[in-house]
Structure 1
Amino acid sequence: MSQAAQILELARERALDENLPYSGAVTPAEAWALYQALPNVRIVDVRTRAEWQFVGIVPDAELIEWKSYPLMNLNPDFLSQLKSKVDPECIVLFLCRSAYRSHEAAMLAAQHGYSEAYNVLEGFEGEKDAHQQRGRLNGWKSAGLPWVNP
Structure 2
Amino acid sequence: MSAGQNPVVGEAVPQDVWDSLSQDANAVLVDVRSAAEWAFVGGPDLSDLGRAPLQVEWATFPGMSHNADFANQVLDALGGAAPSQAFFICRSGARSLSAAQTMAQTFAARGETVICVNVKEGFEGDLDDAKHRGALSGWKARGLSWVQS
TM-score by structure 2 length?
Answer: 0.83
Equivalent of 2:82, from 79, 84, 88? 88
Task: Please state how far the C-alpha of 1:88 moved relative to its aligned partner.
Answer: 2.9
**Equivalent position of 1:16 in the other structure:** none
Give 1:70's aligned amino acid.
P
Q: Does residue 72 of the first structure (1) align with residue 64 of the second (2)? A: yes
Query: After the TM superposition, which segments of 4 or more aligned residues of structure 1 sit over 3 Å from their partners?
Result: none
Relative contact order (C-alpha < 8 Å, sep 6+): which is higher? 2
| Aligned 1:1-150 pairs, distance under 5 A | 21-59=7-45, 60-86=52-78, 87-113=81-107, 115-150=114-149
Give 2:131's aligned amino acid.
Q
Q: Distance in 2 between matches of 1:49 and 1:68?
A: 7
Q: Distance in 2 between matches of 1:96 and 1:113?
A: 20
Task: Please state how far the C-alpha of 1:21 moved relative to its aligned partner.
Answer: 4.9
Task: Please state how far the C-alpha of 1:94 moved relative to its aligned partner.
Answer: 0.1
Partner SS for 2:30? strand
Task: Please state how far the C-alpha of 1:58 moved relative to its aligned partner.
Answer: 1.3
Partner SS for 1:93? strand
The answer to whether the 8 A contact 1:22-1:106 is kept is no
Q: Distance in 2 between matches of 1:133 and 1:127?
A: 8
Question: Any stretches of 5+ residues in structure 2 without a counterpart?
Answer: 1-5, 46-51, 109-113
The answer to whether the 8 A contact 2:9-2:101 is kept is no
Structure whose residues are more often helix by fraction: 1
Give 1:107's aligned amino acid.
Q
The answer to whether the 8 A contact 2:27-2:83 is kept is no
**Equivalent position of 1:15 in the other structure:** none
Equivalent residue pairs, number: 131
Task: Please state how far the C-alpha of 1:53 moved relative to its aligned partner.
Answer: 0.4
Q: Distance in 1 between matches of 2:9 and 2:62?
A: 31
Q: Percent identity?
A: 39
TM-score by structure 1 length?
Answer: 0.83
CA RMSD of aligned residues (A): 1.4
